[in-house]
Amino acid sequence: MSQQEIIYLDNNATTRVDDRVLEEMLPYFTDLYANSTSSHIAGLTINEAVEKVAWQTANLINAEPDEITFTSGATEAINLAVKGLAYQERKHIVTVVTEHKAVLENCHFMKSIGFDVTYLPTASDGLLDLELLEKTITDKTLVFIMMFSNNETGVIQNINAISALLKSKNVLFLCDATQAVGKISVDVKKYGIDLLTLSAHKFHGPKGVGALYLSAKAKTKLIPQIIGGGQQRKLRSGTLNVPGIVGLGKACEIAVNQLEENQNRVKLLRDKLEIGLLQFEGSFVNGDIQNRIYNTSNICFPSVNSEQLIMALGNISVSNGASCSAVTSEPSHVLKAMGLSDEQALSSIRFSLSKYTTSDEIDYVVDRVLELCVKLRS
């Protein structure tokens, strides 16, 4: 392994497009370029391809094809899901302080137009206190918003228990499953999820395409945010990004067939990485080590500045926060909410692996990180 070869361990930010996905997309840039809403034969052919992707996407999360609305990604899906609920009688939203900025900023907006928003804390392991959630819900609560798997720590919440509580209170459940879909089994029916967001580029699909799942109950409450031609059952107007949508569908198809294989192999590599890196004196894993997704490890290296470490690593791609601010002088709001000091948060690195990560790469990363941590600490 040379210092010229890129080793990419920032897969929670984005992933390499699978070759099979790219191959599936290419004809839709050239020969199959008609508008999917056109009524001629060429357009109808493209519409059939889009309908196939709705089925592929629904199949990945155990939904129905007509419950899928394609978007430009998870951020747009979150905007549609949150702002689309603006005209409901209930005016109380509950979320968690460790959510992605796409959720938090939308909640700030909803507060500016008259909603009450409650931001719940987590314990030091990143898990939510269900008793606190139950006490927070009132007869004015419209929706609870929470990640399936945290983008920085990988912590997975008790989705079953949370959804059961929300159902008993007649509160909608909006789940940001961007870091979970395509990596682990996500079943909207089993988990009682009303609205779910996903993004193709998090599981080896293209950037610029994602989807919003809407249960029958949620669909009746949502108003569109992009209006115009009335595409997608009037929920999201605009000419569809057909190549991207086709890529999403192929990524979903591949993920369904590889979930268990990827989980078993990548988890072994993640564990190997942690065993090696935790040799550094005083280092520790941020977040619950049992309830987390298999590809993510967030490690604090005390007295080592994460920005300096990231720059020194050169050909090794890692991050010290969310993908939208991978190198920042501000401590992670997620780690701070979990009780870390500024110094600890600014000494933490997120390593996120993928199905393309190799054992040789892990060996190289462990040696290089340990070497640099010793230098930077001294």
Domain extents in the chain: 7-16+259-377, 19-254
Exposure class string for 119-139: b at 16+ Cβ within 10 A, else e:
ebebeebbbbeeeebeeebee
Other beta carbons within 10 Å of 118: 17
| Annotation marks residue 324 as catalytic | yes
Identify whether the C-beta of residue 69 lies closer than 8 Å to the C-beta of residue 232. yes
Q: Residue 328 pLDDT > 90, yes or no?
A: no
pTM above 0.85, yes or no: yes
Superfamily for 7-16+259-377?
Aspartate Aminotransferase, domain 1 (3.90.1150.10)
The fold of 19-254 is Aspartate Aminotransferase; domain 2 (3.40.640)
pLDDT grade for 326, boundaries at 50, 70 and 90? very low
3-state class (DSSP) for residue 51: helix
Other beta carbons within 10 Å of 15: 23
3-state class (DSSP) for residue 352: strand
Q: In whole angstroms, what separates CA 97 from the centre of its chain?
A: 16
Q: Which of 107, 175, 300, 324 is catalytic?
A: 324
Q: pLDDT by residue (tens digit) across 109-167? A: 999 999 999 999 999 999 999 999 999 999 999 999 999 999 999 999 999 999 999 99
Q: Residue 325 pLDDT > 70, yes or no?
A: no
pLDDT grade for 30, boundaries at 50, 70 and 90? very high
Residue pointed to by tokens 């935790």: 278
Max CA distance (Å), the chain: 70
